Each structure stands twice: as C-alpha cells, then as structure tokens.
Chains A and B, each alone.
Chain A
C-alpha cells in the first residue's frame, strides 16, 4: 500500500484539518467532534442542511458546504458513518430556528446514526426532517436487502435542496424538493480496480487484469457481478440501460446527465463515457438539458465511474442553475 498519509488512524483528522485551512474563507472546521460548517452559519431564517457519511468519498460531503448547498457536513472514519456526537452539534450549529434537513445516504450505519442524532436534536427543540437518498439501481430494493444505496444522486439532492433552502423555502418544502430529486434520480457504477482503506491496508476485493465489477457502491464493497473487461462504449451501455429503464424515461423527457469518477479514473475517460451516454440518450429522444462530469463522489483511489440520470422539471432545473459557492462546486457567483 502506497498512500500519501502519515498515520493510517489520523487520515480523516489530518485531511479535514487541511481542508479547513485551504477553505477558511468558506467553512469553519470543528476538530473534535469533527464537523464542517458554513462560515456564516447559522444563516438567519434559512433552513439548515446537514449531510455526512463515511470519509473517502471526497469532495462529498465537506466540499459541498457553502452558499447554495450544505450548511454542515459530518465526516465519519473512512467508509464508516459519523456518530451522533458529531451530527448533533453540527445540527445545532446550523439551526437558525427554521429547522434542519438531514440528507442521509441509505446505508444501515448512516441511517441508524442520523436517526439517533435527529431524536436528540428534536429533544433539544430543533425540528429535523430527513431526506433519504437511495438511487442505486444495482441493488434490488426488496424486503430481503437493506434497500438501494445512496450514491451519485446524493450530489444532486444536496445541490437542488440547497438552492431551495437558500431561496427561503420552508423546512417541509426543502425536504419535499429533496425527496422529489431522489424519486427522479437513478445511478449505476462500475469498478476497474478496487480501493484500499488506509487502516485495512489491503484492497477491499481483487479484480484480475481482465475483470471489471458491475454494480459497485462507493465503499469498496464488491458489486453485483463480475464480467470480462469491455471497451468504454460497452461498459457505458451496461450502466446506462438499467438507469434509463428503471426511471421509465421516454422520448421528450429532459434530464441531467452526471458521469462521476470513482477517484482513480482520468477526466478524459469520463468524457468518453459521457459521449456515449449522451449519444444513447439522444437516440431515445431524451434531451440532456444539464451535465456534470468529474470526480464528485468517489471511493478513495478506485478506478471506475458511475452514471447518474435525473429526470428534470422546470423547478429542479432552475434550482440546479441557482448560484452555488462551495469548495468543490461553484457557479453563478
């Protein structure tokens, strides 16, 4: 294992410290318990948005703290959900009185820890709503699994719900917009290589030179099945097809197409995937109205990508276009 680290157990602390130093104009970092809040939090009259999860997915979530997106992010250990003793003070720090929305990716640990923190916050008089993100079509959503995982769609929920909060929407309205994004977004990912959790010291699974793993999540967990390596167009089709059919997209629909890198794949390859996905959607009469291409929700140094498609309406499009100023996403300002 070769990594730019000092102590495997200090990875998150040291990284968050550096993040705070680099973006001191936008965020304030609390070291213990670890959480990141928007510099001007709490913003008077505004609903607070808090998200969080295991570390290793950077720039998610800390990179999205700032005007027009999150008010706070709570980083857990690598691939491990944060704990209520972090989530609670982050929630209290961004509550202006208008209430707080928790954006939670659907993993057993995240759900249990955010649920506990929400109960504690409510006991302190803060109204909390939870938006659960579960956009991963690779997982069967049934009584027999923990349900679909939250993956690429999370970035879009955070941006769009963040814009709704910024324009002054009520607590229930912000949560409703977040839920609406989640209902209209689906994702699917592929790994060309595994990743290595610093404190584990070895790759989380092994892929041979000619193998890829289809339907991966973002925690180095293996996916649904393993196939022989294919070219970019072939892999793109395998990811896009289940997303399009699960969303029930039809000719005339407008979408946001988001091609996300898992951390170890160059931007140039992501555009090759984007090219094919855009062509395929155009061939079905689906308009790609907005795009996002890059490393926005990663899995350490894993090579691979995910494709996320959001069915847009006019309001979601306007909220997507609204100004945002965070360390990782910035436009309109």
Chain B
C-alpha cells in the first residue's frame, strides 16, 4: 500500500505544527548568521497553506503539494519562499496525479525537490544551506527505495536530513546571508537545513 492524498494532507498539517512549535528555535538559529526571520516566515507560510487547503481541499497528493508550492512562493518571502516553493512544485510535478505513491515515485519526488532547490538557489553541498539536509536525504531515500517500502524511504530521508542539518555546524557559509560573515559563520547550524529536517520528519509521522 502506497501513500495517498490523506498522507499528503497529514504531512502538511504536521509540517505546519512543526513550524509553529519550532518557530522560536528557527529564529534563534537565524539570529547569529542571518536576520532572525526564518521561524517567523515558515510559520506564517505554513499557516497560509493550512488556510488554502481548508478553502479548497485538494484531491490528489500532487495537487496538495502544488497548492503548498504556490502559497509558500507567494506568502513566505525571503529566500525560503522561492526555494521551498520550487521544491514542492517539482515534487508535485514528479507525483503527477498518482493516488498510490510507491517507494520509487516517492524517492523520485524528493530528488526532484532537491534538484529544484539547487537550480533556483545555485548552492552546492557544503555551502551551509538547506541543500546539506536535502542531498543526504535524497541519497538515503533513493537507497531505501530498493526494498519498496514507503515507510522506510520516509524514515531514511528524515534521519539523513537531521544528520545533514547537524553537519552544517562546522561549515563555512558560501551562500545566502550567512556568507557575509565568512569565518564567523562557522559553529552555527543552518536554519534552512533544520527546517528541512523538520518537514521531512513530519512526512514520517504522517505515514503513521
């Protein structure tokens, strides 16, 4: 049994909960190396997603992610809005109108999301950005997709994203506002990598 629109809706609801719950933490992470707005923006963005979904409940997982993409792109601002917006849009396109998402399709959707972020933000691995959570997550998801269990794909992606977020601590930022700090960016965790890990963890919880 694969994933369906109910999973996607639970994923977005749990993501919204996670953004609200970790709003202060993301603001705190953003304070020393950014401009203290990541938690506020993500919380506002996912709240707007919840409103949109309540107004016109989508019928497929792809439609739910597309609605999320358009809302984040138009409501979040900063770099996170266009980046997450592009990620969800590419994932939605990869899912198409599938209503029984298997492990391979799920891994492909994560991969499409990551590729979208890289294409828009032009960051590479090691630049201390959300790509440092997304890329290990995609690698782990693709590796786990072989045994055709969507739950294992989701769990592998979330775990790798969490480790990826931690791995940004010693990195020297080369993209985004943190890059202005040069050496002083070392020793701080990238807030975008942390929000990525939270969103991918929410996807696990949504699958039950």
Contact = CB atoms under 8 A, between A and B. Distances in A.
B78 A81 contact: yes
B31 A140 contact: no
Nearest to A202: B31
Nearest to A149: B180
A146 B36 contact: no
B76 interface: yes
Interface in A127-177: 138-140, 143-146, 149
Nearest to B82: A112
Nearest to A196: B36
9 contacts: A79-B35, A108-B175, A109-B77, A113-B81, A139-B180, A145-B175, A217-B180, A221-B33, A224-B181
B37 A200 contact: yes
A145 B180 contact: yes
Contact of A79 (B36, B44, B74, B182): B36
A85 interface: yes
Contacts of A205: 31-32
A146 B177 contact: yes
Contacts of B174: 143-145
B116 interface: no
Contacts of B177: 107-108, 146, 217, 219, 221
A220 B181 CA distance: 12
Contact of A109 (B74, B81, B182, B184): B81
A113 B77 contact: yes
Contact of A204 (B31, B80, B180): B31
Top 3 A-B pairs, shortest CB-CB distance = A85-B74, A112-B82, A109-B78
B116 to A, nearest CB: 12
A112 B121 contact: yes
A221 B34 contact: yes
Interface residues of B, number: 33
B79 A220 contact: no
Interface in A192-243: 197, 199-200, 202, 204-205, 217, 219-224
Secondary structure at the A interface, as helix, strand, loop or mixed, is loop
Contacts of A112: 79, 81-83, 120-121
B41 A80 contact: yes
A122 to B, nearest CB: 17
A146 B32 contact: no
B75 interface: yes
Contacts of A220: 35-36
Given A83-B74, A146-B177, 10 more contacts: A76-B78, A79-B37, A81-B79, A84-B73, A138-B180, A140-B182, A146-B179, A205-B31, A221-B33, A223-B180
A221 B180 contact: yes
A200 B27 contact: yes
A131 to B, nearest CB: 20
A70 interface: no
B40 interface: yes
Given A112-B83, A140-B182, A197 B35 contact: yes
Contacts of B176: 108, 146
